[in-house]
Structure 1
């Protein structure tokens, strides 16, 4: 099974430099969701969900502002 890859813009990250999964950008159906988990993206530019394996990463060329 191929895991989903979700490319994010800098504006998609919250004030802590991350996102939550499940995420609307991951196109996950309600019946197929899992508990909400925070994924920190700003430090390394990517993170994988421990529940579903969805890979979230910053789109190439995106620049984070504000100390991230």
Structure 2
């Protein structure tokens, strides 16, 4: 069983759509030796798990992503 990492993010770490890409330097990953790049929608629920490596990207407590509606 692999141990997944947790990466806490600020709302300002998300792109305009509320997402991040994995692999990510924020997760201490080297882009060249990791899995294919995938988009994770963190803004919608406050967290997302990478289907390849299991890393969880989560907004820090008190952080909120507003989609401008």
**TM-score of the superposition, structure 1-length normalised?**
0.89
TM-align CA RMSD: 1.6
Q: How many residues align?
A: 68
- For the residue of structure 1 that corresponds to 2:54, the secondary structure is coil
- Give TM-score, length-normalised by structure 2: 0.87
Residue 64 of structure 2 is aligned to residue 44 of structure 1: no
List per-residue Cα deviations over 1:10-59 (Å, max 9, x = no partner).
Answer: 00000111000001100013454110000001110000000000000000
Matching of residues 19-58 of structure 1 within 5 Å: 19-30=20-31, 32-58=33-59
Contact kept in structure 1, 2:24 and 2:31, CA below 8 Å: no
Gaps (5+ residues) in structure 2? none
Query: Matched residues in 2 for 1:45 and 1:65: separation?
Result: 11
Aligned to 1:17: 18
Task: Give 5+ residue unaligned stretches, structure 1.
Answer: none
Question: How far, CA to CA, are the matches of 1:30 and 1:13 in structure 2?
Answer: 18
